[in-house]
Amino acid sequence: MPDETLTIRDNRTGREYEVPIVDGTIRASDLRQIKVSQDDFGLMSYDPAFLNTASCRSAITFIDGDRGILRYRGYPIEQVAEHAGFLETAYLLLEGELPTREQLAAWEEEVRTHTYVHTNVVKFMEGFRHDAHPMGMLLGAIGALSTFYPDAKNIADPESRRLQRVRLIAKFPTIAAFIFRHSRGLPYVFPRNDLDYIGNFVNMTFEIGGRHEPNPVLQRALEILLILHADHEQNCSTNAVRGVGSSHVDPFSAVSAGIAALYGPLHGGANEAVLRMLDEIGSVENVPRFIEQVKAGHGRLMGFGHRVYKSYDPRAKLIKQVADRVFEQTGLNPKLEIALELERIALEDEYFVSRKLYPNVDFYSGLIYQAMGYPTDYFTVLFALGRLPGWIAQWEEMLGDPEQKIARPRQVYVGPAEREFVPIERR
């Protein structure tokens, strides 16, 4: 028994139990010994939506939601966003350490040589309706990659896992850019391997007639946004990747489950929802009325609130700085004024203050994406592109964790007790 323990007294039986406390947690399975009789199943913990349950031990990302701290592999997000590139951040998340110059060059080269997709990917992309939602296309297309790489099933083989990791990171921007072009009815632009990761992606989305003038300020801004999204420990989509991956399916399928989770408006879809909300509000004068409606329970202030941050989301702070640099280049997004007024009022209003509701990463990111020329329904694709290294790192960590098994929660059954089947003529 470790030094720290918890004594539990079961008032049903009068018996006492001592369970170990490790890293500030008790094991839910230690509760199973607490029974009222020999054939009792044993005590379970009940925690819908995992409000107070750690599902894994992880060495990737640290968050202190009360103090607004986010670190990747120990490095503060502010420093990573200032100094690192996106592929460098991906390397850090995946390998656990910052790469040396040589390691980074080799990693970038490896990614560069896998950017092309099978031409049949182009064919099935063409099958999507012209107005298909980009996230629907993304989750279909990434899931379909598993059919192009059946070797991805060999998840026990570290070499195979490594190859799929490179394929995912390299091909994701290509597919994301095809989706962008598909929505606009433009011909697909293929990867240019003389460009870097971000430059290539931007070129594949915006090049027209063989021409695109890259704007280094906007490209670095996009890179910072992707870095800020790269991992966020056990959020809804990462939990989906881990949960689905725990069945030992290939990583393309597991990542497409993450994309599906991210699609929802309470998660990655919030950046899209923020822009729609700003459109609905229309002008600064309407902000107080809108806030009153939210407080009265009609809708939510999208881009506000977070399950773990109960102070200002550190990513939102950094994104505000990025916004200033972007708007210097593109001119002010008129909706920014509405967003700033919403934030100003919400940060002073008792309803939001008492519930510790602050702007999250999605509150300002949509405004920046829009200024860069991305349509609203495409924002979450950019989020997914950023989150990809985190999903893969978490998937690999889960596979390498000897304590992990197929994810299979328990339930508290509250349906009818056993009853006799009623034939259809008697119902």
Binding interface with ligand ACO (CB under 6 A): 266-268, 270, 294, 300-307, 355, 357, 360-362
Closest to ligand ACO by CB, 135 or 361: 361
> What angle, 0 to 180 degrees and rounded to 10, lies between the N-to-C axes of helices 197-206 and 86-95?
130
Catalytic residue among 231, 250, 349, 362: 362
Cα–Cα distance for residue pair 112/288, rounded to 1 Å? 50
Helix then strand then coil, in percent of the chain rounded to 5, is: 55, 5, 40
Instruction: State which residue, 245 or 303, has the beta carbon closest to ligand ACO.
Output: 303
Q: How wide is the angle at C-alpha 152 spanned by C-alphas 150 and 156, nearest 5°?
A: 130
Spot the catalytic one: 30, 118, 267, 401. 267
Which residue's CB is nearer to ligand ACO, number 206 or number 304? 304
Taking alpha carbons only, the member of 303, 287, 298 closest to residue 349 is: 287
In whole angstroms, how close is the CB of 357 to ligand ACO at the nearest point?
A: 5
User: Cβ-closest residue to ligand ACO?
Assistant: 305
At residue 360, the 3 state secondary structure works out as coil
182 is catalytic: no
Q: For residues 340 and 359, give the distance between their C-alpha atoms in angstroms, rounded to a whole number.
A: 10
CB nearer ligand ACO, residue 300 or residue 320:
300
Which C-beta is closer to ligand ACO: that of 111 or that of 319? 319
Half-sphere exposure of 43 (CA within 13 A, CB side): 16
Q: How far is the CB of 236 from ligand ACO (least distance, A)?
A: 7
Min. distance of Cβ 234 from ligand ACO in angstroms? 12
Residue 291 CB, nearest approach to ligand ACO (Å): 9
Is the CB of 49 or the CB of 424 nearer to ligand ACO? 49
- The two three-digit tokens of residue 68, written as one number: 């607004």
Please, what is the minimum distance in Å from the beta carbon of residue 88 to ligand ACO? 22
Alpha-helix residue ranges (DSSP H) falling in 230-312: 236-245, 251-263, 270-281, 287-295
| Alpha-carbon span 331 to 322, nearest angstrom | 14
Bridge partners (DSSP) listed for residue 25: 22
Q: Report in angstroms how near the CB of residue 112 gets to ligand ACO at its nearest.
A: 29
190: amino acid identity, one letter = F
Rg (CA), the chain: 24
**Spatial strand order in the sheet of 69-72:** 61-64, 69-72, 75-76
Contact 367, 333 (CB under 8 A): yes
The rounded distance, in Å, linking the Cα atoms of 343 and 242 is: 34
Which two tokens mark 243? 């949960």
From 250, 306, 313, 349, active-site residue: 306
212 is catalytic: no
> Which 3 state secondary structure label does DSSP give 10?
coil
Nearer to ligand ACO (CB atom), residue 37 or residue 52 = 52
Active site residue 279: no
Mode of pairing for the β-strands spanning 16-20 and 61-64 = unpaired
Q: How far is CA 16 from the centre of its chain?
A: 42
Q: Which is nearer to ligand ACO, 105 or 353 (CB)?
A: 353
Q: What is the SS3 string spanning 34-46?
A: CCCCCCCCCCCCC
- The nearest distance, CB 355 to ligand ACO, in angstroms, is 4
Query: Cβ 300 to ligand ACO, closest distance in Å?
Result: 4
Catalytic residues: 267, 306, 362
